[in-house]
Amino acid sequence: MTKVGILISGGGIAGLTAACAFGNAGFSVLCVDPTAPVTERGADGADLRSTAFLQPAQALLERVGLWARLAPHAMPLQTMRIIDAGGADGAPRLTRSFDADELSDRPFGWNLPNWLLRREMLAHLATLPDVEFRPGVGTDGLLTRDAEARVTLTDGSHVCARLVVAADGRASPIRNAAGIGVRTTRYGQKALAFAVTHPIPHCNVSTEIHRSGGPFTLVPLPDYEDLPSSAVIWMERGAEAQRLAALDETAFNTEMSARSCHILGPLTLTSRRSVWPIISQIADRYSAQRVALIAEAAHVMPPIGAQGLNTSLADLQALLDLAEKSPGTLGDTPMLDAYHRARHTEVALRMKGIDLLNRASMMDAQPLRDVRAMGLNALHALAPVRRGLMRLGMGAKG
C-alpha cells in the first residue's frame, strides 16, 4: 500500500495546481486522473478553452513556483469591456470598459490556453521530488477513519493518505463516496469553446457581448500564425448551440462574426469546437472525514467574468494556508471544518451573483434587455461602484 500525506483525485488544472502547491510546501503528494492529459494544441481531446488568472490567482501561482514557467506564455488582460447588443437589430448600442489602471499598475489578469497550462504544470511537477502523477488511474473506493483515509484506485492498488483532495470535477467520485450531496441549477444553455484569429488586434481587451441566450466572450491569446488571436466562449440555449456546432466552417465563421458585432473584424475559426452544458452546482459541504472538496467538485458556475477557476484557486489557497499553518493536524476534523467555514458561504454568495448575471444575459424580451442596458450604464457611471465591482471581480471579499 502506498502511503502519502495527500492524495489528489483529479489531474485537471485545479488538481495539477494543487499537486504543485502541496509539493512545493513539502508534503508528499500523489495525484491521479483516469484520463491522460493532452498537452498539444492540435491533438485529439485537447482542451481548447483558456483560463484567465486574475491577480490573486497569479499571486498563488507565483507562491507555489509555477508562475515563472507560465509567464512567458501569458497574455495580459488590461481592460474588461462589456457590450450590450440587445437592441432589436443586434448591433452594439452600449459599450462600457473597466480598466485595470483604476485599481493598480498591474493587469486584471493573464490568459493562457488550457492545453498549455497542463503541459507546463506537468513539467513543473516532474521537478518536485515528493510528488507523483499517475495518469490513466482514477479512484474506485474510499474508506475513512479518524487518523487516515484509504483509497482504492482503478488499477486495484491502494493508497493511505492523511488528506484526500477531491479535484475530480462536477461528478466527483470522491464527493459521492464521501456522501456529500449537491444542489444543481440547469439553465438549458450550452457553451461553445474555440479559438479564432482576426484582423484587428485585441489590444489586451477582454470583451463580453450581451444580446440573448448568453454572453459571447472574446479573451486575448498570443498571436497565432502571425495573426491576432482570441479564445471564445459562446453561450446559447441548448438547441441553438447544437445547431451552431453542426455548421460547416464557412457558415460558422459568418455567424460568429455577426455575433461578435465585428468588433475585431471577421473571425476565422482556428480550432475544433467543443460544447458542454452550463449549470450552477454547489456541494452541501466542502469537507467530510479526511476529505476536502475544491474546484468543480465543490462548485460549478457559468463561465462569466473568469470566476470559475479563480474561485477554485481561492479554495486551494485556503486549504494550503491551513495545511502550512499546522502540518501536524493535516486532514483532521478541526482543520477541515475550518476550511468549510472559510469557503462555503463566500462561494455561495459569489455564485448567486454569477447566476443573476447569467440570467440577465439570457433575456429575450426587449423591455428586459433595455433594463439590462440601463443597469450596466448606471453601474459604470458611478466611480466608487465601478471600482468596487472590479475588486469583487478579481476575488476581493468586499
Which residue is it, cell 462569466? Answer: 304
Three-state secondary-structure class, residue 294: coil
Beta strands at 268-269 and 131-135: parallel, antiparallel or unpaired:
unpaired
d(CA 75, CA 217): 16
**Which DSSP string do the residues of 67-125 spell out, in sequence order?**
HHHHGGG-EEE-EEEEEE--STT----EEEEEEGGGT-SS-SEEEEEHHHHHHHHHHHH
Q: At what angle do helices 333-361 and 366-381 cross, to 10 degrees?
A: 120
- DSSP letter for 26, please: T
**DSSP helix, strand, coil percent of the chain (3-state; round to 5):** 35, 30, 30
Return the pLDDT at 22. Answer: 97
Given a contact cutoff of 8 angstroms between Cβ atoms, the answer to whether 61 and 53 are in contact is yes
- Give yes or no for a contact between 340 and 348, defined as CB atoms under 8 angstroms apart: no
Over its C-alpha atoms, the chain yields an Rg (Å, rounded) of 21
Residue with cell 484567465: 52
Cα separation, 382 vs 105, in Å, equals: 21
pLDDT digits (tens, 9 = 90+) for 180-196: 999 999 999 999 999 99
Q: What is the pLDDT of residue 370?
A: 64
Per-residue pLDDT at 123: 95
pTM exceeding the 0.85 threshold for the entire prediction? yes
CA atoms of 14 and 129, how far apart (whole Å): 20
Over the stretch 280-320, which tens digit does the pLDDT of each residue have?
Answer: 999 999 999 999 999 999 999 998 876 778 899 999 999 99
Phi-psi region of 305 (alpha: psi -120 to 50; beta: other; left: phi over 0): left
Residue ranges of domains in the chain, CATH in brackets: 2-38+115-184+281-358 (3.50.50.60), 71-111+188-277+362-393 (3.30.9.10)
The angle, 0 to 180 degrees and rounded to 10, between the axes of the packed helices 307-325 and 333-361 is 170
Angle at CA of residue 295, ends 154 and 339, nearest 5°:
105
**Helix spans in 26-66 (H):** 55-63
What per-residue string of b and e applies to 197-226 under the rule 16 or more CB within 10 Å gives b? bbeeebebbbbbbbbbbbbbbbbbbeebee
What are the 10-residue block averages of pLDDT along the chain, 398 residues in total? Answer: 95 96 97 92 82 90 95 92 82 81 81 93 95 96 96 96 97 97 95 95 92 90 94 94 97 97 96 92 98 97 82 95 94 97 93 84 69 59 54 55
